Amino acid sequence: MNQKFLFKKITAKNITAYQKRLADELKLSPATIKRRVSSIRKFCEWAQKQGYLEVNPFLKETEIPGVSLPQKLTPRKNVFQKAYRAYNQASITKYFHWALLIIFCAALGFGAYEQFFKKAPTPLAYPASPVTPNRFLSFQGRLTDSSDNPISTATNFVFKLYDAASAGNTLWNSGTCAITPDQDGIFSNLLGSDCGAEIDATVFSENADVWLGITVAGDAEATPRMQIATVGYALSAETLQGLPPGTETSMIPYINSSGDIVIAAASPTIQATSGTFALEGQTGVTIQAGTGVGGSITIAPKGDAGKVNLTSEATTGNLLNNQGGANFGTVGGKEANNLYYGYVGTDDTNFNLLKLEAGASTPDVKFTVDASGNASAAGILKALTTGSYFTGDITVSGGDITGDNSVILDIGEDSTDYITSSVGLAVGGAQTYYINTGTSNLNALVLAGDLTAKANATISGTLALAPNVQVDAGTCNDSSAGKMY
């Protein structure tokens, strides 16, 4: 058949008939029809340049269904031109233009202020409670046969999510979904909504990479699998490192409507993995157990160098203030009720139970209690009662008041009696001991019991004996002269 005869068949009439067949018989979409007509147009342009086609049918005004050709408008009498000329000639026109300009600028400035400078109302800035996003994946594709012809009939699909590009573990399975593409074979589905159950949150929060596998009808799974882009991981926006916000275990704590951070787990831990953890309040920090629970507060330093350091910058007041409750001491024995208690779990004595120092640049030791219970004071140990005077009694029960040979035991004030004893006063040893005021010997000694001298007693003054003085019998000879028996 002659080629020129074939090209003569390409006419505007035949092109219109072809369009009608595509629309009425094949039921193709308008977009598909336009693409195919566009291909014929380009072919005709090529054929005309090559001399195969004498007349390009698309250069004529051919009527094509669905395409409106521009029509030449018949000029009408321009009544608007006269009105526009009259409007411009009016004296008030320029003022009206200025008014419109001012209104426009004011509206523009107000809009800019509202958009960029005005603070957004708090209720509109964020939701009142965390919102869980829908775990859907949008998938769009085109289904064709082996000849690249579109398939528009219902077809079974199976979608799966894997943790590897091949083989691997199945993270999610849609099951069989019947999908009907359009005339061009194009379809669009929401995986986890239109097709299959909702995708579990762990699919994206627990896996660094996720791939999509697709199986069509009875065919094998298509290869290669499609890797889910980063945008798919927006499904994990409801979690932080896989953990959702909330007030239960394995949840991220958040600030509730009262401004409190609530941790629901039993015995939770707030831990700093490095550096120093700090709690800071504007006016103070309160650490307390729950009201009515009766819980304890434990401060437990760790390691050989772990210590509890208290640093204060106060200028007055009680730096360490422990105020016991009104019921403290109402139960249990006295040894079990202690305002302050300390324990060292060792038999070593190379430490002090208490050490108090004072001083600006180099502190001086003022008072210590060693591991054996010995107390040492840099000043004078005085009894203290109410008021501003250091008065009262010092009582020693079941022990001795002792001092080194070179140390003076100073007891008493400037009164008649310096030492009063209802038990006895023992002074002995190889040295000579004197009971004195520091400047002179004691001039008054009152004993409620017996006075026993196990060595010689020297009296330089007068010894006054009360009636009924008992003198034990003994041998009175030259060697015992000056002794009383």
Give CB contacts under 8 A, 24+ apart, made by 109-113: none
Asked whether residue 358 is domain-assigned, the answer is no
Taking CA atoms, 230 is separated from 136, 151, 173, 210, in Å, by: 14, 31, 20, 10
Write down the pLDDT at residue 163: 94
Domain endpoint, select from 177, 211, 238: 238
Domains contained in the chain, number: 3
Q: Which pLDDT band, with edges at 50, 70 and 90, does 280 fall under? A: confident
Say if residues 171 and 163 touch (Cβ distance below 8 Å).
yes
Write down the pLDDT at residue 134: 77
Q: What is the pLDDT of residues 310-344, one digit of tens each?
A: 888 888 888 888 877 778 888 888 888 887 888 88
Q: Residue 234 above 70 pLDDT?
A: no
Q: How far apart are CA 420 and CA 234, in angstroms?
A: 89
Q: What is the pLDDT of residues 11-40, one digit of tens each?
A: 888 888 888 888 888 888 888 888 888 888
Domain endpoint, select from 190, 220, 238: 238
Q: Residue 471 above 80 pLDDT?
A: no
Residues 147 and 233 in one domain: yes
Asked whether residue 483 is domain-assigned, the answer is yes
Asked whether residue 91 is domain-assigned, the answer is no
Taking CA atoms, 198 is separated from 64, 202, 229, in Å, by: 47, 12, 19
Percent of the chain at pLDDT > 70 equals: 63
Q: How far apart are CA 32 and CA 183, in angstroms?
A: 9
Asked whether residue 422 is domain-assigned, the answer is yes
Q: What is the pLDDT of residues 143-158, one digit of tens each?
A: 998 888 899 999 999 9
Q: Residue 195 above 90 pLDDT?
A: yes
Q: Could you list the residue range(s) of the whole structural domain that residue 26 is in?
A: 3-59
Domain endpoint, select from 177, 212, 238: 238
Residue 156, domain CATH: 2.60.40
DSSP helix/strand/coil, 66 = coil
Phi, psi of 52 (to 5 degrees): -80, -30
What does pTM read for this prediction? 0.39
Most confident of 181-195, 200-214, 398-412: 181-195
**Residue given tokens 């035949």 in the structure block:** 14
Write down the pLDDT at residue 250: 67
Of 254, 181, 250, 182, the residue nearest 216 (C-alpha): 181
Give the list of residues 6+ apart from residue 320 with CB closer than 8 angstroms, or none: 310
Q: What is the pLDDT of residues 85-105, one digit of tens each?
A: 777 777 788 788 888 889 988
Of 378, 327, 334, the residue nearest 355 (C-alpha): 378
Asked whether residue 245 is domain-assigned, the answer is no
Please compute Rg for the chain using Cα positions. 54
Asked whether residue 303 is domain-assigned, the answer is no
Give the list of residues 6+ apart from residue 221 with CB closer than 8 angstroms, or none: 160, 213, 214, 215
Residue 381: which H helix or E strand, with range?
none
Asked whether residue 409 is domain-assigned, the answer is yes
Q: How far apart are CA 357 and CA 372, in angstroms?
A: 20
Of 174, 171, 159, 248, the residue nearest 206 (C-alpha): 171
Write down the pLDDT at residue 212: 95
Q: Which pLDDT band, with edges at 50, 70 and 90, does 69 fall under? A: very low
**Residue given tokens 């994206």 in the structure block:** 204
Asked whether residue 452 is domain-assigned, the answer is yes
Q: Which pLDDT band, with edges at 50, 70 and 90, does 124 fall under? A: very low
Write down the pLDDT at residue 455: 59
Residues 51 and 141 in one domain: no
Q: How far apart are CA 250 and CA 265, in angstroms?
A: 8
133-137 average pLDDT score: 81
Q: Residue 118 above 80 pLDDT?
A: no
